[in-house]
């Protein structure tokens, strides 16, 4: 019997290990934040996170213009372009 008929026909699924993130753009954050630090709590207060997104890890993406010096505390992930824009604007990323 050929090998392709002897092997099982069930595929591999990585769904059990997938990590979902609550996605936020710098452009929207710049419209609501002025000088206070950006944390999970402040994002919930300002209405950026609701429902299931309150408990998901947060990822910041760089869509749009960003020129405010904001401090990010306890945010899980940043895109490379977002980190570049934050540093360029004079902001800080702290993992607390």
* 85, 63 Cβ separation under 8 angstroms: no
Establish if 77 belongs to a structural domain: yes
Q: What is the pLDDT of residue 84?
A: 93
Q: What is the pLDDT of residue 83?
A: 93
pTM over 0.75: yes
Q: What is the pLDDT of residue 68?
A: 87
Q: What is the pLDDT of residue 74?
A: 92
Q: How confident is the model at residue 77 (pLDDT cuts 50, 70, 90)?
A: very high
Identify the CATH number of the domain in which residue 38 sits.
Answer: 3.100.10.10
Other Cβ atoms less than 10 A from the Cβ of 22: the count is: 20
Establish if 39 belongs to a structural domain: yes
Establish if 4 belongs to a structural domain: no
For residue 35, is pLDDT > 80?
yes
Q: How many domains does the chain have?
A: 1
Domain span at residue 35 reads: 19-94
């Amino acid at each position: 019997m050929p090998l392709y008929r002897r092997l099982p026909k069930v595929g591999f699924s990585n769904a059990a290990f997938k990590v979902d993130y609550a996605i936020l753009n710098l452009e929207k954050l710049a419209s609501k934040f002025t000088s206070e630090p950006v944390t999970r709590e402040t994002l919930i207060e300002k209405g950026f996170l609701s429902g299931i997104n309150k408990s998901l890890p947060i990822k910041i993406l760089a869509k749009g213009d960003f020129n405010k010096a904001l401090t990010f505390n306890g945010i899980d992930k940043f895109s490379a372009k977002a980190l570049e824009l934050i540093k360029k604007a004079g902001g800080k990323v702290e993992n607390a």
